[in-house]
Structure 1
């Protein structure tokens, strides 16, 4: 396995539960060494986190200035916009199997191939839009494996909200949740009109009364990386400092 530091690598992982092979991306910082243990940033929509969020540059900068602890990035890219609807959406036909793939098979792949800190608070799930919904769903399903979640503007419906109500596993979670003030009426990449602001505020009302660590922000802007990218540095220092 190629462990050249300072570059984004692409590999594949065969899933037994899904009976298909998924692409996996990973980034090891320039200072990477097997002598150290690392936090893991697990990104969904990983190609967007690299291209638009430039997350690898950010961890290099923050690690160099000693604002975050040592971290690597492992991500799942999406092969098509349509694919996200079936795998990331909590109501998608492949969602449950994909949860098992990430929670068991991908997690095992990460711990077997990289020197990781094998604790729930050392694995941070990151996602935006449907990928943010998937990150929340995954943490609810495997709270003893993944203890930290960033959800930028997640797709939220009543079914997802109900999963958070009176859920005793929430005590293990630390969630950073944002929504844009211009997301009350916008066109999704699927070409559909949507209001994400209202249901995300409803989710916030529920989470505010539950026993977990929780940060909620309403950001100036819409459902785009121009809104999310400026928040990434604060997110990483919040979880990894």
Structure 2
């Protein structure tokens, strides 16, 4: 069995954003172009690989038989434009959604063998908000979401409150028990309360929610610890 870890990098010019974006793709051991694989698309994608160690974690889980072979696509963030790209009211949000949904995903799925029924999307903080926004933009594209410490401000909750039925979707939600006063570059926020409110809101609309509060704060060290649980929730082997 091939146990080497393989990550391929692509740089594409986005028409919607008017800039280049890097996308890194993790391939599972013995990747076979004749097999359709589940795939997770990650916002803050390069940080998922470096700070989250998502490829290393997936490789280990697959080797242990705890995770089905999967593809992981990490979409690089433009740090200077992150708020404008990810926030629902950001000035570049519509362009970012167009890039991900109409440029990036079709490009990836031309290059790699993907099971379209097993797409997932993952995001941390504002990336979790962008993930839910993608769901609202193209309701049929995704069914599964991994949402880490989402920045669910009242305006975000209001956007989801306008949706009557979310019963076709599943989400893994986690937040740190120290995030009632979470420090971010934009200020200090009570993400613990926001996540509890969003959990209730999504469940009221029929979404299948796996919700966890775990020891930790609004940092990659916390999210990395929960990635094995999130991945095996999404693609369990038994």
The TM-score with structure 1 as length reference comes to: 0.90
Residues in 1 aligned to 2:158 and 2:121: alpha-carbon distance in whole angstroms = 21
Tell me if the contact between 2:12 and 2:22 (Cα under 8 Å) persists in the aligned partners: yes
5+ residue gaps, structure 1, are: none
Partner of 1:236: 231
Residues in 1 aligned to 2:188 and 2:207: alpha-carbon distance in whole angstroms = 32
Say which of 140, 148, 156 aligns to 2:144: 148
The answer to whether 1:67 aligns with 2:66 is: yes
The TM-score with structure 2 as length reference comes to: 0.91
Partner of 1:131: 127
Q: What secondary structure sits across from 2:167 in the alignment?
A: helix
Partner of 1:199: 194
Partner of 1:109: 107
Tell me if the contact between 2:180 and 2:191 (Cα under 8 Å) persists in the aligned partners: yes
Partner of 1:227: 222
Over the aligned positions, Cα root-mean-square deviation in angstroms equals 1.7
Partner of 2:77: 78
Residue correspondences, number = 233
Q: 1:25 to 1:169 in 2, by over 3 A?
A: farther
Partner of 1:175: 171
Tell me if the contact between 1:44 and 1:76 (Cα under 8 Å) persists in the aligned partners: yes
5+ residue gaps, structure 2, are: none
Instruction: Provide runs of 4+ in structure 1 moved above 6 Å.
Output: none
Residues in 2 aligned to 1:221 and 1:146: alpha-carbon distance in whole angstroms = 28
Partner of 1:9: 8
Q: Please, which moves more after superposition, 191-200 or 88-97?
A: 191-200
Tell me if the contact between 2:147 and 2:174 (Cα under 8 Å) persists in the aligned partners: yes
1:122-145 per-position Cα deviation (integer Å, ceiling 9, x unaligned): 111011111111112112222210
Tell me if the contact between 1:130 and 1:155 (Cα under 8 Å) persists in the aligned partners: yes
Q: Give the superposition deviation at 1:40.
A: 0.7
Q: What secondary structure sits across from 1:176 in the alignment?
A: strand
Q: Give the superposition deviation at 1:168.
A: 4.2
